[in-house]
């Protein structure tokens, strides 16, 4: 049974097994770049756990612990991707379904009007809610990063993004009802 006491030892162990860890994560998520992200997140989680320990109890079976964390992060990533795909199918925001080369002048004008409505809707939001939404949707930040940046809880960051999305949907719906 191997044990790890210091972060330096953990880094060496991590570097020694990195290729296998990425391969394992890739076998679960099916995307190399996502697997790389998951493995990096796993390393930082283990470092965080080790640095928060009150007593210097060594980490037993560190490689197995890394694999367990990577598996959990991969499953979280797959759940998130499934939710996002379901949302995108429900909302039909896919440009590929419309074919960019076949956009009529009417469709182009309609899209510009929707963009204008969304711009107004975003400006109606409270500053921090708008910022959370923009960071999530336009900058691609994770909710945890947004929560940290705005100094709010993860649940609050999620609620802010969801609230902004609901407001944008309602504004678009109101605009379409007005046209009919």
pLDDT higher at 48 or 163: 163
Q: Among 41, 51, 40, 50, which residue's Cα sits nearest to residue 18?
A: 40
Q: Which of 24-38, 85-99, 105-119, 156-170 has the lowest average pLDDT?
A: 85-99
- Look at residue 161 and tell me if it is in a domain: yes
Domain range spanning residue 132? 103-179
pLDDT per position as a tens digit, 31-86: 888 889 888 888 888 777 655 555 566 667 778 888 888 888 888 888 888 877 77
Residue 40: what pLDDT? Answer: 87
The CATH code of the domain that includes 11 is: 1.10.1740
**Within this chain, do residues 47 and 107 fall inside the same structural domain, yes or no?**
no
- Look at residue 71 and tell me if it is in a domain: yes
Final residue belonging to a domain, choices 57, 89, 121: 89
Length of the chain as a residue count: 180
Mean pLDDT (whole number) for 115-125: 89
pLDDT of 160 higher than 90: yes
- Look at residue 96 and tell me if it is in a domain: no
**Within this chain, do residues 67 and 11 fall inside the same structural domain, yes or no?**
yes
Domain count, the chain: 2
Which residues 6+ apart lie within 8 Å of 3 measured at CB? 58, 59, 60, 62
Residue 158: what pLDDT? Answer: 92
**Within this chain, do residues 73 and 20 fall inside the same structural domain, yes or no?**
yes
**Within this chain, do residues 34 and 56 fall inside the same structural domain, yes or no?**
yes
Q: What percent of the chain has pLDDT over 70?
A: 79
The CATH code of the domain that includes 136 is: 1.10.10.10
Residue 166: what pLDDT? Answer: 92
């Amino acid at each position: 049974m191997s044990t790890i006491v210091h972060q330096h030892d953990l880094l060496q162990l991590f570097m020694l097994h990195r290729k296998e860890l990425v391969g394992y994560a890739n076998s679960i998520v099916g995307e190399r770049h996502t697997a790389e992200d998951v493995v990096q997140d796993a390393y930082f989680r283990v470092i965080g756990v080790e640095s928060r320990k009150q007593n210097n109890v060594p980490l037993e079976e560190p490689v197995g612990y890394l694999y367990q964390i990577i598996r959990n992060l991969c499953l979280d990533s797959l759940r998130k991707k499934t939710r996002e795909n379901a949302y995108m199918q429900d909302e039909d925001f896919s440009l590929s379904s419309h074919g960019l080369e076949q956009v009529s002048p009417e469709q182009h004008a309609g899209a510009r009007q929707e963009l204008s409505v969304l711009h107004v809707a975003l400006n109606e939001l409270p500053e921090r809610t708008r910022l959370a939404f923009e960071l999530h949707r336009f900058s691609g930040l994770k909710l945890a990063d947004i929560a940290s940046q705005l100094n709010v809880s993860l649940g609050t960051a999620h609620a802010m993004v969801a609230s902004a999305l609901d407001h944008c949907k309602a504004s678009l719906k109101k605009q379409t009802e007005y046209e009919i």
